[in-house]
Chains A and B, each alone.
Chain A
Amino acid sequence: MKQAFFSEPLIFELGGRGRIGELIEDVKVEIPKELMREELNLPELSQIEVVRHFTRLSQMNWGVDLGPYPLGSCTMKYNPRINEDLAWLDEVQWLHPLQNEVQGILELMYKLEKILASITGMDRFTFQPAAGASGELTGCLIIRKYHKDRGENRDEIIVPDSAHGTNPASAAMAGFKIIEVRTNEEGQIDIEELKSAVGNRTAGLMMTNPNTLGIFEKQAKEISEIIHDAGGLMYYDGANLQGIIGFARPGDFGFDIVHLNLHKTFSTPHGGGGPGSGPVGVKKFLEEYLPIPIVDFNGEKYYLKWDLKKTIGKIKDWYGNIPVLVRAYAYLLSMGKEGLKLSCKAAVVNTNYFMKKVSKIKGITIPFGNSYRKHEVVISVENMAKETGVTAMDVAKALLDRGLHAPTIYFPLIVKEALMFEFTDTETKENIDKYIEALKEISELAYSNPELIKNAPINTSVSRLDEVYANHPKTMCLSYRMLKYKQ
């Protein structure tokens, strides 16, 4: 494959004096001269130029629509277009948050909440958080307020060393001190270390299950008991729900709070980095702590309920990223119960099929034992790097050259030269086979002619980019006007 390349100028370098892209009536107004703007240096383009520019840019971009996109813990599955059609209806896009007559959207939120509650084993949800990290902050604020209301001074959150970076970052924003616990040889939380970490300052534990190694934490229930006995709460990071959806529920193994990522497990598009949606679910005893308002039903009408006595308040304007909720709801109808279970099975089979096959490739190891993985697997090319100089970064770039988006690399931090693959349930066997073949070929080249890998990628829009140049104070350029100053 060869990705499209246009030597596409910056939008500021296009167009011409006096061109306009939309007809807007030019009216006369008066404001005091000292408040009047003099210069506005935006580009001047006709409509066709704008369309061509962004269309060309789009063609220099990879997406799930073009091929596999196996970023670990990101669940880059197919984004069904029927969900787009529904999310873009005027009856979704042209509503005001304070208008009346929104029974349709409230009903959708109410029903979506019930479905998510049944999938996770939780009792009530808020849709306010804009993304996973926003959900984590919500959860941490609930934990904080819960202990405060009980007059307890608990300021420590326990986070495994395999956790997503957002976990410690969110807990820190909520004012907690982070206590890190190690992963044992089997790729699970080290229970002995956990026991010595808990105490009367423990506010809670944040856990991803399956964890970022793709391994199901079998001791989740036991861990919950340890945390609960110490007076803490259990927080479930739902980034990896794909690995157990339909088979197990966090609510059943002791979690008090969960967040889900509708843009992962529930198929809504990632949009180049967002918008996502990170609904937070809680057990009954924490319901009153949820952000306001939540959606309720009085037997006749759906309504927004504002009187939650212990609420943490608000975490984002209004009620959440509404069009994302519409997509997720449509997805759930499209799947049904059996479809959801099938999606879990397919994701898990795809992962283990891949793991077994690549484990035989020279230079590749599977850290933390050969136990089955769930929806994702982390492989290491530490040996390859030592023996040939070809690193995880090089392998990633060589995959790009073969028309295959790279997995997440150098994460989790506990694996050296890590490549973290998640194919999801919507990937074909043929494409997984292509990765296996590509990794074999890359390994062979690494051991015979490593320079060929070191020079990758050559088939992408641009070749390997200089990160040092981008970050050095002398060359750093973060906007068009910084570029102009430098010139």
Chain B
Amino acid sequence: MEKIFSHPYIPNANILNEMLKEVEINSIDELFSDIERREFEILLNDEPMDELSVYREVKSMLSKNKIMKCFMGGGPWFHFVPSIIKHIITRGEFLTSYTPYQPEISQGVLQALFEFQSMICELYNMDVANASLYDLPTAIGEAALLAYRVTGRSEFLIPSSIPNDRKSIIRNYIEPIGMKIIEMPFLEDGCPNLELINNRAAGVYVETPTFFGTVETRLKEIVEIAHDMGALAIVGADPLAMGIFKPPGDYGVDIVVGDGQPLGIPPAMGGNSLGLMACKNDLKIIRQMPGRIVGLTITKDRRNRGFVLALSTREQHIRREKATSNICTNEALLAIAAAIYMAVMGREGIRRVAKKILHNTQYAIKRLEEMGVERAFKGIHFRDFAVKIDVKKVNMALEKRGIIGAREISRNIGLFAVTEVHTKEDIDEFVEIVGGALK
């Protein structure tokens, strides 16, 4: 007799043989007779571990991680996460569902994602958003591919300020099909020099704020130049900055992408990412969008409003190698988290958070300057700011006090960030440590 044992996750464990008997199959082995048996060792205990032991073991392993205060710039950031988000997104109805292929029984996820798309559109002043991509750099890559399909051109301009890791991701998305990156060097305010924009460009990509935290003030001009050259204007915009700064949609930008992590999502070592993408109500572009898009519709009996996955003929399960992207599983639950964030913060909350971040940024810069620490870039900063410091020295001093320090731009330039979670005391302490380290 084969040993059969029970497991809490496997309800039929004890009746497998009976089930087979009922359908006249002789044994479990028979079901695997087409597989050539070969011995191999799985690196696990033989026996299952009970729940309490699993908790103890994993928890004790994870307790070797240290929770620290964060002043590092460049993302992911430590923002405020409203308590209700976790409570709602861990509800089994959301957590344990999948892509809503059967819309009639999945209206909850569909409406939540429609609202996510709608609120992203409001933040950016755009008309259509998709239901999420993996993260910002993959969204930039997808935007470049979209621009290629729309314009038939193969050059894609990006600011050279984008960190190398992200450039590598963008290259991996666009070089195989024959596109190439052209880097626009940055000026003294950290924003790109626009001289390289030419009529071979499929798209011109700029960011606001830039990776260095400086706000791009020339969006109107950039859109005009890009359009004059026949290229799409693509902007990477921080969603929280939209609480106070004019959104890209005001300037006629074609595509907006963004990092959705600031919208109520903990950093998780960079492992809770959310890529945003939005465009104007232009069918030429909408039809080329990557990823799921939820649309509003009506029931066939015309009694109720409802939601479905729209324009699915763009997608891989139907269009295969001609699809607008290979993306299938996305970051839906984190998109719902962002939707809850935008709803609970609301019009006033997002404005206030943006103001608080700007205020804290200006305060931190002012205090550092009083200590003799110089900014690396001119212009208005939002959340992130680069300063001229001995990065190694400063970071060691900060780490000693349980603070995650600067992201290294170079040995002598470090990128910091302050958000709405930092109190005046936090910032004062931070400034003292940085100042002290440089004495």
Contact call A462/B10, Cβ cutoff below 8 A: no
- Write out, one digit per residue, whether chain B residues 62-102 have a CB within 8 A of any chain A CB (1) or not (0): 11111110101000101010101011111111111111111
Contact call B268/A92, Cβ cutoff below 8 A: yes
Instruction: List which B97-147 residues lie within 8 A (CB) of chain A.
Output: 97-109, 111-115, 117-119, 121-123, 127-129, 131-132, 134-138, 145
CA distance A318 to B267 in the complex (A): 11
Query: Known: A79-B95, A100-B399. Is A333-B44 also a contact (CB below 8 A)?
Result: yes
CA distance A339 to B245 in the complex (A): 55
CA distance A89 to B44 in the complex (A): 24
Q: Which of B94, B111, B362, B407 is A98 in contact with, Cβ under 8 Å?
A: B407
Nearest chain A residue, comparing its CB with the CB of B61 = A104
- Write out, one digit per residue, whether chain A residues 158-190 have a CB within 8 A of any chain B CB (1) or not (0): 000000111011111111001000000000000
B299 CB to nearest A CB, Å: 5
Nearest chain B residue, comparing its CB with the CB of A355 = B23
CA distance A132 to B330 in the complex (A): 10
Stretch at the interface among A193-201, A322-330, A441-449: A322-330
Contact call B63/A316, Cβ cutoff below 8 A: no
Contact call B9/A465, Cβ cutoff below 8 A: no
Question: Closest 4 CB pairs between A and B?
Answer: A322-B271, A318-B270, A61-B108, A65-B92
Given contacts A95-B268, A130-B273, 10 further A-B contacts (CB under 8 A): A58-B94, A248-B38, A271-B332, A318-B270, A321-B271, A337-B45, A337-B46, A346-B10, A462-B299, A464-B301
Report B-chain residues with C-beta under 8 Å of the C-beta of A478: 117, 127-129, 286, 293-296, 310
Report B-chain residues with C-beta under 8 Å of the C-beta of A269: 95-96, 333
Whether, in the assembled complex, B320 has its beta carbon less than 8 Å from a beta carbon of chain A, the answer is yes
Query: Known: A342-B13, A406-B102. Is A332-B295 also a contact (CB below 8 A)?
Result: no
CA distance A303 to B51 in the complex (A): 29
Q: Which of A55, A131, A349 is B16 in contact with, Cβ under 8 Å?
A: A349
Stretch at the interface among B168-176, B364-372, B431-439: B168-176
Whether, in the assembled complex, A353 has its beta carbon less than 8 Å from a beta carbon of chain B, the answer is yes
Whether, in the assembled complex, A153 has its beta carbon less than 8 Å from a beta carbon of chain B, the answer is no
Nearest chain B residue, comparing its CB with the CB of A74 = B98
Contact call A26/B355, Cβ cutoff below 8 A: yes
Contact call A50/B356, Cβ cutoff below 8 A: no
Contact call A317/B166, Cβ cutoff below 8 A: yes
CA distance A59 to B13 in the complex (A): 31
Whether, in the assembled complex, A369 has its beta carbon less than 8 Å from a beta carbon of chain B, the answer is no
Whether, in the assembled complex, B334 has its beta carbon less than 8 Å from a beta carbon of chain A, the answer is yes
Report A-chain residues with C-beta under 8 Å of the C-beta of B33: 372
CA distance A62 to B23 in the complex (A): 31
Q: Which of A174, A318, A337 is B176 in contact with, Cβ under 8 Å?
A: A174
Contact call B321/A169, Cβ cutoff below 8 A: yes
CA distance A65 to B92 in the complex (A): 6
Q: Which of A26, A31, A372 is B380 in contact with, Cβ under 8 Å?
A: A31
Instruction: List which B45-60 residues lie within 8 A (CB) of chain A.
Output: 45-49, 51, 53-55, 57-59
B331 CB to nearest A CB, Å: 5
CA distance A400 to B166 in the complex (A): 44
Query: Known: A11-B115, A50-B84, A91-B67. Is A470-B308 also a contact (CB below 8 A)?
Result: yes
Contact call A131/B328, Cβ cutoff below 8 A: yes
Stretch at the interface among B151-159, B198-206, B226-234, B311-319: B311-319
Whether, in the assembled complex, A226 has its beta carbon less than 8 Å from a beta carbon of chain B, the answer is no
CA distance A332 to B87 in the complex (A): 26
Nearest chain B residue, comparing its CB with the CB of A177 = B321
Query: Known: A272-B336, A273-B109, A462-B306. Is A93-B272 also a contact (CB below 8 A)?
Result: yes
Ordered by A's residue number, 10 sampled pairs between the chains whose C-beta atoms are within 8 Å are A36-B246, A58-B93, A66-B93, A86-B59, A93-B268, A114-B43, A273-B98, A273-B332, A338-B48, A429-B19
Contact call B310/A470, Cβ cutoff below 8 A: yes
Whether, in the assembled complex, B266 has its beta carbon less than 8 Å from a beta carbon of chain A, the answer is yes
Whether, in the assembled complex, B223 has its beta carbon less than 8 Å from a beta carbon of chain A, the answer is no
Query: Known: A86-B55, A107-B64, A173-B176. Is A45-B343 also a contact (CB below 8 A)?
Result: yes
A20 CB to nearest B CB, Å: 5
B381 CB to nearest A CB, Å: 11
CA distance A187 to B296 in the complex (A): 39
B134 CB to nearest A CB, Å: 4
Nearest chain A residue, comparing its CB with the CB of B241 = A37
Report A-chain residues with C-beta under 8 Å of the C-beta of B22: 353
Whether, in the assembled complex, A78 has its beta carbon less than 8 Å from a beta carbon of chain B, the answer is yes
Report A-chain residues with C-beta under 8 Å of the C-beta of B359: 27-29
CA distance A352 to B369 in the complex (A): 72
CA distance A346 to B13 in the complex (A): 7
Q: Which of A18, A119, A169, A261 is B323 in contact with, Cβ under 8 Å?
A: A169
Whether, in the assembled complex, A102 has its beta carbon less than 8 Å from a beta carbon of chain B, the answer is yes
Contact call B31/A349, Cβ cutoff below 8 A: yes
Contact call B28/A349, Cβ cutoff below 8 A: yes
Contact call A339/B7, Cβ cutoff below 8 A: yes
Query: Known: A10-B118, A104-B61, A338-B46. Is A322-B269 also a contact (CB below 8 A)?
Result: yes
Contact call A168/B58, Cβ cutoff below 8 A: no
Report B-chain residues with C-beta under 8 Å of the C-beta of A248: 35-36, 38
Contact call B333/A336, Cβ cutoff below 8 A: no
Nearest chain B residue, comparing its CB with the CB of A10 = B115
CA distance A352 to B87 in the complex (A): 39
- Write out, one digit per residue, whether chain B residues 258-300 have a CB within 8 A of any chain A CB (1) or not (0): 0000000011111111000000010100100000111111111
Report B-chain residues with C-beta under 8 Å of the C-beta of A297: none
Contact call B348/A20, Cβ cutoff below 8 A: yes
Report B-chain residues with C-beta under 8 Å of the C-beta of A313: 168-169, 171-172
CA distance A421 to B358 in the complex (A): 53
Q: Which of A21, A218, A469 is B349 in contact with, Cβ under 8 Å?
A: A21
Whether, in the assembled complex, B196 has its beta carbon less than 8 Å from a beta carbon of chain A, the answer is no
Q: Which of A22, A221, A276, A372 is B82 in contact with, Cβ under 8 Å?
A: A22
CA distance A371 to B32 in the complex (A): 11
Whether, in the assembled complex, A43 has its beta carbon less than 8 Å from a beta carbon of chain B, the answer is yes
- Write out, one digit per residue, whether chain A residues 3-34 have a CB within 8 A of any chain B CB (1) or not (0): 10001101110010011111011111101101
Contact call B35/A50, Cβ cutoff below 8 A: no
Contact call A462/B317, Cβ cutoff below 8 A: no
Contact call B97/A274, Cβ cutoff below 8 A: no
Report B-chain residues with C-beta under 8 Å of the C-beta of A406: 101-102
Q: Which of B24, B30, B80 is A372 in contact with, Cβ under 8 Å?
A: B30
Whether, in the assembled complex, A144 has its beta carbon less than 8 Å from a beta carbon of chain B, the answer is yes
Query: Known: A118-B41, A168-B320, A473-B283. Is A465-B299 also a contact (CB below 8 A)?
Result: yes
Report B-chain residues with C-beta under 8 Å of the C-beta of A249: 38, 40
Report A-chain residues with C-beta under 8 Å of the C-beta of B325: 169, 173
Whether, in the assembled complex, B187 has its beta carbon less than 8 Å from a beta carbon of chain A, the answer is no
Instruction: List which A108-148 residues lie within 8 A (CB) of chain B.
Output: 108, 114-115, 117-119, 121, 130-134, 136-137, 141, 144
Report A-chain residues with C-beta under 8 Å of the C-beta of B321: 168-169, 171-172, 178
